[in-house]
Amino acid sequence: MKTPPLKKILLGSLALVLVVGGALAYPRLAKLRVHVPAYERSGEIVLLDQGWSDAQRLEFHHTAQGTRLVPYRWLLALEQPCLSPFGCELFAKPEYLGRFGFLSSPADPKWNPDGLPVGFARQEDFADSDTGQQYPVVGLTCAACHTGELRYGNYSVRVEGGPAMIQVTQFQKALGVALILTDLIPWRYRAFEERVLGANAPAADRAALKQAVEQFLARAKAEVAATEKANIYPHDAGFIRTDALTRIGNQVFAADMGLPANYAVAQAPVKFPQVWDASWFTWVQYNSSIADPLVRNIGEALGVRALARLSGPQAAEFANSVNLPGLKRMEDLLSGPDPFTGLRSPRWPAVFPALDAAKVAQGAALYKKHCQGCHLPPLDELQADLRAEKPVYWVTNSSGKRFLDLRDIPLGMVATDPNQAIEFKNRTADTGALGKGRVSAAEGLKLVTEGIRDRFFRQAGFSAEQKLEWQGYRDGSIPAVRADEIYKARPLNGIWAAGPYLHNGSVPSLYDLLASRQQRPAKGFWLGSKRFDPAKVGYESTELDGGFWFDYAEPGNSNQGHWFEDGPRGKGVVGPALSEADRWALVEYLKSI
């Protein structure tokens, strides 16, 4: 009888060990499972005229903002988190990252040399505030969460600045599991090492890489252990959403300050907002909590893993990795020099079914009667008002700049899920080594983001005029951060491309939004498909393998409020009951703006 080769014996033995061990350790292995939909290739990509050139679009998609997922070559060298003894395909394969919803992007020698998806940015000079070293990393940029795609027939319509159908939680889990398996499985690590360092690398380089991997994983495991011990993230926010303010606070107040007691339970998930025009709003965030764009963008960068050393004797120096010039460039692309000159809201594409002009006209009258009081007039009226000597909807500050004065709606009136506004208002944090005692989340966020901002200003030697420009011409007449029990009502231009609806994404379509409480979906719906329904205006929400079940019973997921039904206004009722004809006419009008 022929003796089987040694390699086959070893592989067979390993397979047996994996089967038996897997059966014994099934609960632990189940925690490592990454469950996302199968990859679906984009159709013919349709780019809309939103005021950006192809070069500006590419720059926005890949400008680094000082965040770090992993060192750059690690991402290219990692294998996907499978348990095959024969090895797995590479993690950075576009088809794999596409399963988490990330959008394809062309290779470009300057901005995207390895053809990574939209929102992945290579930074050669990443400043590690922990070690003082600089090295190339890959990080997420705001384009990852704010670039949408709507698929209809064989078309894939890209929406710059729109909410992205990505699953951040499962992506982070997949990346972590891939790193752990690489560290644990010898032959996988050897392949990873060779991809990172090349063949026959010096022993000293191999030792340094191994030490870096171990240190990186140790820090990540410590954070995971702290959050799991206190059950900080009990619910997955799913596709197109995250608990932004809580996660930023957890990163800054707990992880960066080294104070686990500062962790807060995440129970206020929100949909990634559309970002066109936002640079010229008086306030941003759904709870109308931030005015200064640098404060907003620094906080966003910290929330997606920019580093800040906020513990120890040098905490007050605010050493950090945030790429302020990158943030400024992205803000300039979004804002333009004046309102409506940067990124524009998208117009209904020609590849979608044509609009019904009669219904649009009927819906325009309904909008003016029932919606304009909160959401302000349509764009053409706001543009005309901007040029008026005494505008109605714009405020002018001491810099001579005009900002759109959005309406803030009290929670008791709109009655949508209150968690984001209330959780942010009630949260406090110990400032630890920064020496300010216990402060509100608003005060703590202001302290850290302004500390990082002012450190950069000092190092750059900026004049007062330069500082004002970088702060988006906010002159200090209103606070940079506040916390009130309100939600802002923004203008609705481009709203057709910004589903699902309400601040927490709890209503799947515009048609469902213009409903009474009895007409809303009762239990939940599925998220994860980019397939677009141009009639009801929203993503397809039927069951999807690997998708996310949006469960209304979980904290922060209520689809209550903003109802249209007869009776007194307030307590969630924002307009009268609409007939079916009026409801469809209003949907048609909202497609047109």
Backbone region of residue 334 per phi and psi (left: phi > 0; alpha: psi in -120 to 50; beta: other values): alpha
Asked whether residue 5 carries a pLDDT value surpassing 60, the answer given is: no
Asked whether residue 24 carries a pLDDT value surpassing 70, the answer given is: no
User: For residue 215, what are the CA distances in angstroms to 81, 183, 209, 222, 258?
Assistant: 20, 11, 10, 11, 16
Backbone region of residue 279 per phi and psi (left: phi > 0; alpha: psi in -120 to 50; beta: other values): alpha
Q: What angle do CA 36, 41, 42 make, to 5 degrees?
A: 115
DSSP string for 393-408: SEEE-TTS-EEE-PEE
Asked whether residue 19 carries a pLDDT value surpassing 60, the answer given is: no
Give the pLDDT confidence of 268-293 residue by residue, as tens digits: 999 999 999 999 999 999 999 999 99
Closest to 139 measured CA to CA, from 319, 303, 343, 309: 303
Give how far the C-alpha of residue 12 lies from the chain's centroid of Cα atoms, to the nearest Å: 44
241: phi then psi, degrees, rounded to nearest 5: -140, 160
pLDDT recorded at residue 269: 98
Average pLDDT over residues 417-439: 98
Helices (H) and strands (E) in the chain, counts: 20, 20
Task: State how far the Cα of 351 lies from the Cα of 349, in Å rounded to an integer.
Answer: 5
- Kindly report the length of the chain: 593
Task: State how far the Cα of 266 lies from the Cα of 264, in Å rounded to an integer.
Answer: 6
Cβ contacts of 384 within 8 Å, gap of 6 or more: none
Task: State how far the Cα of 573 lies from the Cα of 516, in Å rounded to an integer.
Answer: 8
Higher confidence at residue 4 or residue 561? 561
Average pLDDT over residues 488-505: 98
Give the pLDDT confidence of 434-485 residue by residue, as tens digits: 999 999 999 999 999 999 999 999 999 999 999 999 999 999 888 999 999 9
Burial 48-72 (b: 16+ CB within 10 A, else e): bebbbeeebbbbbbbbbbbbbbbbb
pLDDT recorded at residue 38: 96
Share of the chain above pLDDT 70, in %: 95
pLDDT recorded at residue 83: 86
Amino acid 518 reads Q
Question: What's the whole-number average pLDDT of the chain?
Answer: 94
DSSP 250: I
Amino acid 495 reads I
pLDDT bracket for residue 359 (50, 70, 90): very high
pLDDT recorded at residue 28: 62
pLDDT bracket for residue 84 (50, 70, 90): confident
Task: State how far the Cα of 115 lies from the Cα of 120, in Å rounded to an integer.
Answer: 9
Give the pLDDT confidence of 211-264 residue by residue, as tens digits: 999 999 999 999 999 999 999 999 999 999 999 999 999 999 999 999 999 999
343: phi then psi, degrees, rounded to nearest 5: -70, 125
DSSP string for 487-549: EEE---TTGGGS-SBTTTT-B--HHHHSS-GGGS-SSEEEE---BEETTTTEE--S--TT-EE
Average pLDDT over residues 177-202: 96
Cβ contacts of 215 within 8 Å, gap of 6 or more: none
| Angle between helices 203-229 and 186-197 in degrees, nearest 10 | 120
pLDDT recorded at residue 132: 85
> Order of strands, edge to edge, in the sheet holding 147-152?
44-47, 155-160, 147-152
pLDDT recorded at residue 26: 41
pLDDT recorded at residue 21: 36
Cβ contacts of 195 within 8 Å, gap of 6 or more: 73, 76, 77
Average pLDDT over residues 368-392: 97
Q: Please state, as a whole number, how many other Cβ atoms lie within 10 Å of the Cβ of residue 188.
A: 19
Task: State how far the Cα of 487 lies from the Cα of 512, in Å rounded to an integer.
Answer: 20
pLDDT bracket for residue 31 (50, 70, 90): confident
pLDDT recorded at residue 30: 66
Average pLDDT over residues 166-174: 97
Q: What angle do CA 540, 519, 575 make, to 5 degrees?
A: 110
User: For residue 292, what are the CA distances in angstroms to 249, 452, 472?
Assistant: 17, 13, 7
DSSP 5: P
pLDDT recorded at residue 573: 98
CA atoms within 13 A on the CB side of 130: 12
60: phi then psi, degrees, rounded to nearest 5: -65, -40
Asked whether residue 11 carries a pLDDT value surpassing 70, the answer given is: no
The H or E element containing residue 486 is: strand 486-489
Give the pLDDT confidence of 102-158 residue by residue, as tens digits: 999 999 999 999 999 999 999 999 999 888 889 999 999 999 999 999 999 999 999
Q: Which two tokens stand for residue 344?
A: 């524009």
Closest to 333 measured CA to CA, from 46, 55, 47: 55
The answer to whether the beta carbons of residues 379 and 346 sit under 8 Å apart is no
